[in-house]
Chains A and B, each alone.
Chain A
């Protein structure tokens, strides 16, 4: 038992759950089951974030992706789905195309992952020596425009490029607000026509 490095064990466990339910999404033909497997897969990847000590990102994953899939399930599937969408059969031609696209993307990603030296696996002593930092405060300060994690950067040019995410954050917020207002506009009850409008349309029709 002493020789097992438990974080690695749990990493493989969560990865296996994530990947197997992702495959389940592919193989299932019922759309609600697909969504259910997708939720499980995303929740297991939230487990990976928690394992890495990124509590904030993990909770974000749960709230945004898992919660978002929930909303997708409700409004996208249950309200709009007709009988022919509930059971979906993928034609074999699409399987082949999807296989090639997916396999080439996977190959590219694997190549990239192997190519970065900092992403190579490390031995156990190095891994145990690393202290996991709590990242919520730096993320929050970064969103407010201050990168506390880059204070030690000696190069002034690089330091200047490391401003926070305030502008991006604001742009995204305004974007979301616009989407909300648009959704409310689209979803509101149809405006009642005034008498003049109906007369005009009647005249047109006549």
Chain B
């Protein structure tokens, strides 16, 4: 989007001769948007969690603050947390103790840098990386670092136990998580999240979770592993309050404590959005309203903006639904033991993910250009759109063409498969 603003500044408005100013403004806008998204979504999700858990347990949940439904309850809690004393234990390593919540929070926010909220020629993404999925996975794995620092620096055995559990759990669950991500990457032929999202344009039958039976199971495994990697119940061993007091945040209070929770809800939201982009169509709704608006001839900037805003609403809605699912699971299932958590990862999720990866590869090779369990063919519009919407820079396009030509030259397999790959680009 920085590029869009830059071009707008230079060519259209033509009053701002300083490109660096455009970049600075674009950067500040993105930072403000992402910070607010994480903070406000945490506000909403905490309220939602209390309401849903209340209903599941046949209670009402918060009812008073802010008039109806207690919708301002989280804000009141936040004010209470602000007024609490900022304590650190006497034996704590106070520098690491103080900085740990910020490390977690930074990692949770940094994942949003590469997540697109709407696709097309000018996708709504803070920094359009052509290896976006990989970046998001790499950054999401760093959130645990703050937790480990907190556990160590608190100088409390409960904190240390919680941190060690979380570390073991997150490091283990990265393996099946990465394997599940490879499947949509392979089908879309790109690690660019914008390309993966636009591969699923059109009806909901084009969503990658319905691509074939293997991707369906892969999607389920992905969501399970995502839940474990963001440390949510039934995998919330790091803060198991019946055994470890409060786990890694036993010694924290006030605002620093709330930073951990903003990080947790932020990363819940980001893995839900990641799941929605990889498997559930991303910014393409179940019915292709946005594509109809965008493809109905000359729509101008406002029509384009409307289509993008609808896509944004789609992404946020799907992300919220994913978070609701996590909340539902949390208040329904009991917590697993640590050996059960490890068994789920190593004995079930990893082999299933590996088998599904193999199956999806074979399916994709033998049934090319088909969607919805091989019943429907991939609409031509997807190819036209993804070719017409020039998402890549010129140099990347050139290298892609080179790649295709080389592939045809030296390919040991038949041409059909490689035409297929070329078409997906």
A residues 165-190 in Cβ contact with B at 8 Å:
none
A134-B130 in contact given A6-B20, A36-B149, A59-B138 (Cβ < 8 Å): yes
Give the residues in chain B near A62, CB-CB below 8 Å. 135, 138-139, 142
A148-B149 in contact given A74-B164, A74-B167, A74-B171 (Cβ < 8 Å): no
Query: Is B349 an interface residue, CB under 8 A from the partner?
Result: no
By the criterion CB–CB under 8 Å, are B93 and A55 in contact? no
Give the residues in chain A near B168, CB-CB below 8 Å. 74
Query: Is B131 an interface residue, CB under 8 A from the partner?
Result: yes
The distance from the CB of B99 to the nearest CB of chain A, in whole angstroms, is: 8
Query: Given A1, A59, A137, A149, which contacts B134 in the complex, CB threshold below 8 Å?
Result: A59
B residues 128-167 in Cβ contact with A at 8 Å:
129-131, 134-135, 137-139, 141-142, 144-145, 148-149, 152-153, 160, 164, 167
Query: Is A33 an interface residue, CB under 8 A from the partner?
Result: yes
Interface size of B by CB at 8 A reads 41
By the criterion CB–CB under 8 Å, are A148 and B148 in contact? no
Query: Is B82 an interface residue, CB under 8 A from the partner?
Result: no
Residue of B nearest to A152 (CB): B402
Interface size class of A (residues with CB under 8 A): 35 or more
Among A6, A30, A62, A141, the one with the most B-chain Cβ atoms within 10 Å of its Cβ is A62
By the criterion CB–CB under 8 Å, are A33 and B395 in contact? no
By the criterion CB–CB under 8 Å, are A55 and B129 in contact? yes
Query: Is B5 an interface residue, CB under 8 A from the partner?
Result: no
Give the residues in chain B near A73, CB-CB below 8 Å. 148
A56-B134 in contact given A2-B18, A39-B145, A141-B406 (Cβ < 8 Å): yes
A1-B160 in contact given A56-B134, A59-B134, A133-B395 (Cβ < 8 Å): no
A residues 1-44 in Cβ contact with B at 8 Å:
1-2, 4, 6, 30, 32-33, 36, 39
The distance from the CB of A37 to the nearest CB of chain B, in whole angstroms, is: 11
Query: Is A103 an interface residue, CB under 8 A from the partner?
Result: no
Query: Is A124 an interface residue, CB under 8 A from the partner?
Result: no
Query: Is B400 an interface residue, CB under 8 A from the partner?
Result: yes
A residues 58-107 in Cβ contact with B at 8 Å:
58-60, 62-63, 66-67, 70-71, 73-74, 78-79
By the criterion CB–CB under 8 Å, are B96 and A33 in contact? yes
Query: Is A136 an interface residue, CB under 8 A from the partner?
Result: yes
The distance from the CB of A59 to the nearest CB of chain B, in whole angstroms, is: 4
A63-B406 in contact given A55-B131, A70-B144, A71-B171 (Cβ < 8 Å): no
Bound-state CA distance A151–B135 (Å) is 29
Bound-state CA distance A73–B166 (Å) is 13
A67-B142 in contact given A33-B93, A36-B96, A146-B406 (Cβ < 8 Å): yes
Bound-state CA distance A4–B21 (Å) is 12
Query: Is B410 an interface residue, CB under 8 A from the partner?
Result: yes
Query: Is A195 an interface residue, CB under 8 A from the partner?
Result: no
Query: Is B60 an interface residue, CB under 8 A from the partner?
Result: no
A78-B131 in contact given A146-B406, A148-B403 (Cβ < 8 Å): no
Query: Is B392 an interface residue, CB under 8 A from the partner?
Result: yes
The distance from the CB of B25 to the nearest CB of chain A, in whole angstroms, is: 13
By the criterion CB–CB under 8 Å, are B160 and A78 in contact? yes
Give the residues in chain A near B139, CB-CB below 8 Å. 62
Q: Which 8 A-B pairs have the closest CB atoms?
A: A63-B138, A62-B138, A134-B396, A133-B395, A59-B135, A74-B167, A148-B402, A55-B129
* Residues of chain B having any CB pair with chain A under 8 Å: 18, 20, 23, 93, 95-96, 129-131, 134-135, 137-139, 141-142, 144-145, 148-149, 152-153, 160, 164, 167-168, 171, 174, 191, 392-396, 399-400, 402-403, 406-407, 410
Besides the contacts A55-B130, A70-B167, what 18 more A-B pairs have beta carbons closer than 8 Å?
A2-B18, A30-B93, A32-B96, A56-B131, A59-B129, A59-B135, A60-B134, A62-B138, A66-B142, A71-B171, A134-B130, A136-B130, A137-B399, A138-B403, A141-B406, A148-B399, A148-B406, A149-B399
